[in-house]
Structure formats: C-alpha cells, structure tokens
Amino acid sequence: MNIIVDGMGGDNAPGEIVKGCVDAVNEYDIEITIVGKEQIIKEELSKYKYSDDKIQILNADDVITNDDDPAIAIRRKKNSSLVVGLNALKDGLGDGFISAGSTGALLAGGLFIIKRITGIDRAALTSVYPTTKGLSLLVDAGANVDCKPEYLKQFGLMGSIYMENVFGRKNPKVGLVNIGTEEGKGNQLSKEAFDLLKGEDINFIGNVEGRNLPEGDVDVIVADGFVGNIVLKLTEGMAISIFSILKKSLMSNTKSKIGALLLKSELSDIKKKMDYREYGGAPLLGTKLPVVKAHGSSDAYAFKNGIRQLIAFIENDTIKTIENNINKDKNNQEG
C-alpha cells in the first residue's frame, strides 16, 4: 500500500508532517510518497532513521495556503503539493491521499480532480466526535453549508457504512441533529431529511438534540455542514475551556494540588479521549478514491494517526461499499 502525502500542507509543515510519515512507515506496513519541495523534504528526512525504500519524494514547487481562494488555487496552482498529490492519486500512483492543508482547497480538489462517486450529490467532511461512550461520527463537519434533504440522506448512508466498515460498529445508530427529538420538529430541511432517512435501509433512530450528542446516543450524527461545523467547534472550545478551568482549580492551593497528583492518570485518560490527535483525520466521503483531511495544526503524532485512519479506509474498501449501496438505493427508487 502506498500513501500519498501533502508534505507542505498544515501549520507545522513540512517538519511535523515528515516526522509523522517516518513514524508511520516504521510502525505500519506501508510505503509513502511525500509531495512537496524536494530539497526541503530531503533535509527533514535526513534527521530520522527509516528504510530508504519506504519513502519517496514527488517534487512540487508551489504551495496552496489558507489565504488562497480554494477553487481558483486548484485551477491555477497546478504545481502545488496538494494538486500534484491529488493528480498522482487519480493517476494510480498511490492508494490514498492525506493533507493537513487548506480544507477548502482539498474539498475543491476532491470535486474537480478525484470526482464524486456516481449517484452522490455532495462529498462530506467526516469528523470523529468524542463521547462518554467512546466516539461518534459527525457528517457533515463543514464541507456543505447549504444542503438539500437528499444530501443529508446520503450523509447518513455514507456515515453508517464508514462507521461499520472502519470502526467495526455493527448496525450503527444514525441520528439527525435537530431542535427536538419528536418527528416533525425543525425547519423544512430537517423535516424532509427525516422522511428520507426514515426510508433508508439504515438504523435511523430519528432526531437527536445537541445536548445529547456528547452522551453518544447515536453512532452517526447527520447535519448540514453549517450546523455540523458549529457543533464540532463548540464542542472543541468547551473541552478546552473546561480543562483550563479545571487546571486552574487544581493548581489553586496545596490541597487541590495533592488531589490533582492522585488523579493524574485518570485526568490524562479523559484528556486523551477528547484529543483530536488520537484520531488524526477526517475522511472525505463521497469521492471516488480515499482522501483524508488531517487537522491543520497536526503534529507528527496526529498526522501518523491520520495515516492510520486512511489505511483503515483503504483496507476496508469503504468506497466500493458506498458505491454498491448508492446504486442499490437508486435502483430501488427507479423500481
């Protein structure tokens, strides 16, 4: 298996990206092609020990930044690490692609270069959402801020398949984010999406309120990208704030410091469960080939885990399963 990596994307590129790649090839049975400025990447690779035949470099002299207009950058920056990497995937030079760079550019590249699965109207950004029961999958996490009911139905289907294939959650529970749990709640989009999801061959349990998401009441959280991104960012912000308040309280006096010392391992476990670095990346569901978006601030550990998630995405042939289910759904509608 060969993983293609955008070596220049992300806040900590190329240093942390390269280190994450080295850690990955030393731990997993894979090969990696790092795309980016060859000389700079060679200098970073020289700092580490790894089997030389495990990592190759594909030169790309340009970089797409977060300040670039995504669609324009994909068309004009043909020699950027992101565009060269996606084209390499399209041309069969690797089995999957991962980038910590511009989310907008990666989405545009997935649409224009890799293309969508036939029958899928919109590709969705999918994020792991930590809960008290482990984790849920949030679909869409920000790719599509304006949606039609059909899109949400497809998000639920793709999320259910991914959760079952990659995370091994059998018959995962799918819920639609809404302002109430009763059928008929919400705006027109929610009401129509509810009816479509109810008719799908998935374990759709109905609406789910925002306050219940952290409890893990559902395995797959369906939302349009606008709502989904707010849910994700608000949860991240609340987790950071709570840990900050807790740290200040535990360090406020000698008694609390002793208590903090006794609870150190338990607190570390909680923090680990809430840490995006443990999950590494968000798969772009709906494209014809496996693409994963790593967090923009990924360090080497987070990026290595993003590669791990991409490996599972590829090994479980999730895209083929989505294609088969979409075609089955289309045939049922036509029949």
Domain boundaries, the chain: 2-120+286-321, 126-276
Do 2-120+286-321 and 126-276 show the same overall fold? yes
Contact 171, 164 (CB under 8 A): yes
pLDDT along the chain (335 residues), means of 10: 97 96 97 98 96 96 93 95 98 97 93 93 91 91 92 96 90 96 94 95 96 94 95 85 80 80 69 64 92 92 94 90 79 57
Q: What pLDDT shows up at residue 258?
A: 79
Instruction: Give 206's strand partners.
Output: 175
| CA nearest neighbour of 98 among 203, 210, 233, 6 | 6
CATH 1.10.10.10 fits 126-276, yes or no: no
- DSSP three-state, residue 335: coil
Which fold is adopted by the domain 2-120+286-321?
Isopropylmalate Dehydrogenase (3.40.718)
- Residue 279 — φ and ψ, nearest 5°? -105, -30
For the CA atoms of 13, 303, 292, 236, what is the dihedral angle to 10 degrees? -100
Q: What pLDDT shows up at residue 241?
A: 84
Question: Which residues in 245-281 are b (16+ Cβ under 10 Å) and which e?
Answer: eeeeebeeeeeeeeebeeeeeeeeeeeeeeebbebbb
